């Protein structure tokens, strides 16, 4: 370049002495290189700078292969050079013509199978071919030429006609190591994305055509992510659903932190799974995703359905169990995902959106679950389900510290929205809709939106239910829990807000605040319905009931269950709403009774003796009796009952610094032994 520029300067200096010399030298320079320029560059269309054409159309290592219409059905191609073969090597084309098929769209390409010689067909570009042009022909002539040349990649990578990069199998060029996967796909194994590795299920052979079993491809993508220490298994949009006909094994026998994210591309909270373009058709007949014994797996924007497009519907969307070495399925996260499982209206075959047995520290957020039991969380294998991949634990396990927030449940009523058994430190918020509504409500269906079995503690619930006759059923103990929500029973008559079903139940440190959305009153809103003998719960201690407009609010007998332990109620609070300031509250039973509180002022810091009660029986045994209650209309008044033989001496004591006049009412008592 320096020499040319210096020559040019010398020529320009000589123009002062003769224009002819300068022009002749320049003319000789240009025409001396004309053949070289024309052999490497296609001719530009009229009005198009040649440089722009060269910059855009480069195939392989040099410009060329420019297609123009010739005579009749002949297509002229200019000379060109490209990489071809494995290992790649440059090949040169001297230029020539192809005879095309009449009345067709002809696809012109460089054929790797023929040393990248130009070729044509009428079916389209295939993987590995280098597109050159699309040419439309009539019966005897070419009517249109569309240039398809673009930047191309040397083998073993090649560009398909649709723009997809194809990788030749078993190549070792450009420091890429390739090996075929179990699905026949070619997988790059030594390329690492330092920002987080992505394993696209289609790269591992998934078709997403609704007919091919894509489970092997999903499994291969997941295994590849685990093998490198974690990453994202990507479920891209597809023409149809991804049919999964065998369960995906995400289990671990060591409780290892897998750090794998299963992520779809089009889902969010709300809607139905069938609207997703990355939809999974759950066709396993049992478990879909088994994460038993594993830690750290996340499902994000995943959409799955077993309601359509399947022959053997999956019954469990996500299954998480503790293994026999006490490794629990911990740290499982499900975010913005939808699992629409098949539902039933009768029988003993049940479906589950999520089945958690002995797992801990799991977090579900903004998810949609449709199933007979949308959410099953238990310290025991309550429904005797089993993993096909690991040996599970048996007996009672720890099931604590799970969170289910902003959930949306849909059920046919065969089971409750959420089932908790032997759990602790749980959070549930959201909404549920029961599609099995009828009037009267079918006797074969379950009656309550939530079920608490086998003792649960520290439960934090804020939930709105629609369609079940009642809000919740409680068995055994419920301790230190906050059960808030709204009940919109669709069937009539509505059932209880909360039903206590076991005579040994203890309620301690609980708050019940269930608002009835409809005006029709429920009989005994908080009710003990334990069958047979004995009946009644054992203890109600430091418990609050919100009665709302339910005039017959609490009816919980206490004292018939004999275990040798204490049987009592104390520190019970309740409140009504509007015109229901004094709802009926009853803790009656064979060793309970009542006394009347007169409408008489009680001076500050004094006690008023109430009418003595005479009776016989176990309830009047020797020893002191104590009852402390503070309902809304008795704030500041402490009731106590002393006894001597068969005579009880109740008192109402004002423990405040001002006078209190209680309304005339009846107070129920129970001897605390």
Backbone angles phi, psi at 202, to 5 degrees: -70, -30
Structural domains present in the chain = 2-32 (no CATH), 46-167 (2.60.520), 593-673 (no CATH)
Give residue 169's pLDDT band: very low, low, confident or very high (50, 70, 90).
Answer: very low
Higher pLDDT, 224 or 632: 224
> How many whole angstroms separate alpha carbon 165 and alpha carbon 179?
16
Global pTM value: 0.64
Higher pLDDT, 168 or 22: 168
| pLDDT given for residue 611 in this prediction | 77
* Helix (H/G/I), strand (E/B), else coil: 7: helix
Distances (CA, A) of 556 to 291, 499, 526, 536: 42, 9, 7, 6
Going 597 to 599 to 600 to 606, the CA torsion angle's sign is positive
Give residue 661's pLDDT band: very low, low, confident or very high (50, 70, 90).
Answer: confident
Looking at the predicted structure, is the pLDDT value of residue 558 above 80? Answer: no
Q: What is the pLDDT of residues 337-360, one digit of tens each?
A: 999 999 998 889 999 999 999 988
Q: What is the pLDDT of residues 483-506, one digit of tens each?
A: 999 999 887 667 889 999 887 788
Give residue 635's pLDDT band: very low, low, confident or very high (50, 70, 90).
Answer: low
> How many whole angstroms separate alpha carbon 475 and alpha carbon 469?
18
Cα Dmax for the chain: 144
> How many whole angstroms separate alpha carbon 291 and alpha carbon 249?
7
Max mean pLDDT among 159-173, 209-223, 501-515 falls in 209-223
Among 311-320, 558-567, 568-577, 658-667, the least confident range: 558-567
Mean pLDDT of 45-73: 63
Backbone angles phi, psi at 294, to 5 degrees: -95, 170
E-state strands within 36-141: 67-69, 74-77, 80-84, 89-93, 96-99, 105-111, 117-121, 130-137
The 3 state secondary structure assigned to 268-299 is CCCCCHHHCCCCEEECCCCEEEECCCCECCEE
> How many whole angstroms separate alpha carbon 462 and alpha carbon 484?
5
Give residue 165's pLDDT band: very low, low, confident or very high (50, 70, 90).
Answer: low
Give residue 580's pLDDT band: very low, low, confident or very high (50, 70, 90).
Answer: confident
What residue has token string 């209680």? 662
What residue has token string 């009835």? 516
Backbone angles phi, psi at 110, to 5 degrees: -90, 125
| pLDDT given for residue 582 in this prediction | 72
Stretch (H or E) spanning 34: helix 34-40
| pLDDT given for residue 546 in this prediction | 92
> How many whole angstroms separate alpha carbon 488 and alpha carbon 201?
43
Give residue 622's pLDDT band: very low, low, confident or very high (50, 70, 90).
Answer: very low
Distances (CA, A) of 341 to 209, 286, 289, 304: 20, 11, 13, 8
User: In the structure encoding, which two tokens stand for residue 272, read together?
Assistant: 């139905």
Q: Taking each helix axis from N to C terminus, what angle separates 19-32 and 2-14, rounded to the nearest 10 degrees?
A: 150
Looking at the predicted structure, is the pLDDT value of residue 411 above 90? Answer: yes
Contact 475, 505 (CB under 8 A): yes
Kindly give, in sequence order, each residue whose CB lies less than 8 Å from that of residue 235, ignoring residues fewer than 6 positions away: 201, 242, 262, 263, 264, 265, 278, 280, 302
Q: What is the CA radius of gyration of the chain?
A: 40
End-to-end CA distance of the chain: 109
Q: What is the pLDDT of residues 211-233, one digit of tens each?
A: 999 999 999 999 999 998 899 99
Percentage of residues of the chain with pLDDT beyond 90: 43
Contact 280, 309 (CB under 8 A): no
């Amino acid at each position: 370049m320096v020499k040319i520029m210096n020559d040019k300067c010398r020529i320009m200096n000589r123009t002062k002495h003769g224009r002819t010399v300068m022009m002749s030298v320049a003319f000789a320079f240009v025409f001396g290189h004309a053949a070289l320029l024309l052999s490497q560059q296609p001719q530009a269309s009229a009005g198009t700078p040649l440089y722009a054409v060269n910059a855009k159309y480069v195939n392989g290592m040099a410009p060329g292969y420019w297609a123009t219409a010739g005579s009749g059905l002949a297509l002229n191609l200019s000379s060109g050079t490209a990489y071809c073969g494995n290992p790649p090597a440059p090949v040169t084309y001297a230029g020539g013509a192809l005879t095309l098929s009449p009345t067709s769209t002809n696809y012109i390409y460089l054929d790797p199978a023929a040393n990248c010689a130009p070729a044509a067909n009428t079916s389209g570009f295939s993987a590995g071919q280098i597109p050159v042009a699309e040419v439309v022909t009539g019966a005897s002539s070419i009517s249109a030429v569309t240039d398809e040349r673009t930047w191309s990649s040397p083998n073993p990578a090649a560009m398909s006609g649709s723009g997809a990069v194809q990788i030749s199998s078993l190549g070792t060029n450009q420091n890429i190591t390739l090996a075929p996967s179990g699905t026949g796909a070619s997988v790059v194994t030594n390329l690492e994305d330092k920002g987080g590795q992505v394993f696209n299920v289609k790269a591992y052979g998934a078709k997403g055509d609704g007919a091919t079993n894509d489970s092997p491809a999903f499994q291969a993508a997941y295994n590849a992510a685990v093998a490198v220490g974690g990453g994202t298994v990507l479920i891209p949009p597809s023409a149809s659903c991804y049919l999964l006909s065998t369960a995906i094994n995400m289990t671990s026998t060591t409780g290892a932190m897998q750090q794998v994210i299963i992520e779809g591309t089009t889902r969010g909270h709300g809607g139905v799974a069938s609207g997703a373009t990355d939809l999974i058709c759950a066709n396993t007949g049992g478990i879909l995703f088994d994460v038993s014994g594993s830690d750290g797996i996340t499902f994000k924007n995943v959409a799955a359905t077993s309601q359509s497009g399947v022959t053997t519907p999956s019954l469990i969307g996500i299954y998480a169990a503790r293994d026999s070495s006490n490794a629990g399925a911990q740290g499982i996260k499900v975010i913005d995902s939808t699992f629409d499982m098949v539902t039933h209206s009768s029988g003993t075959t049940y479906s589950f959106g999520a089945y958690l047995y002995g797992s801990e520290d799991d977090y579900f957020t903004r998810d949609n679950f449709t199933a007979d039991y949308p959410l099953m969380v238990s310290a025991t294998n309550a429904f005797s389900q089993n993993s096909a991949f690991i040996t599970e634990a048996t007996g009672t396990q720890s099931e604590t510290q799970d969170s289910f927030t902003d959930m949306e449940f849909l059920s046919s009523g065969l089971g409750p929205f959420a089932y908790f058994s032997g759990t602790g430190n749980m959070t549930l918020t959201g909404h549920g809709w029961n599609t099995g509504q009828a009037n009267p409500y079918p006797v074969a269906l379950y009656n309550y939106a939530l079920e608490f079995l086998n003792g649960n503690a520290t439960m934090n619930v804020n939930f709105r239910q629609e369609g079940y006759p009642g809000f919740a059923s409680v068995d055994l103990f419920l301790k230190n829990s906050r059960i808030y929500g709204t009940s919109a029973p669709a069937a009539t008559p509505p059932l209880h807000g909360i039903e206590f079903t076991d005579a040994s139940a203890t309620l301690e440190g609980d708050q019940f605040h269930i608002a009835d959305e409809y005006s029709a009153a429920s009989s005994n809103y908080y009710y003990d319905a334990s069958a047979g003998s004995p009946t009644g719960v054992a203890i109600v201690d430091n418990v609050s009931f919100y009665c709302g407009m339910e005039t017959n609010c609490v009816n919980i007998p206490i004292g018939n269950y004999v275990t040798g332990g204490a049987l009592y109620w104390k520190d019970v609070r309740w409140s009504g709403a509007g015109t229901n300031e004094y709802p009926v509250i009853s803790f009656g039973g064979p060793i309970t009774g009542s006394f009347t509180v007169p409408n008489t002022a009680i001076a500050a810091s004094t006690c008023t003796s109430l009418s003595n009660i005479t009776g016989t029986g176990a309830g009047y045994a020797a020893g002191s009796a104590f009852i402390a209650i503070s309902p809304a209309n008795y704030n500041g008044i402490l009731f106590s009952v002393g006894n001597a033989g068969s005579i009880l001496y109740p008192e109402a004591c004002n423990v405040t610094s001002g006078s209190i006049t209680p309304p005339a009412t009846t107070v129920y008592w129970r001897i605390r032994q």
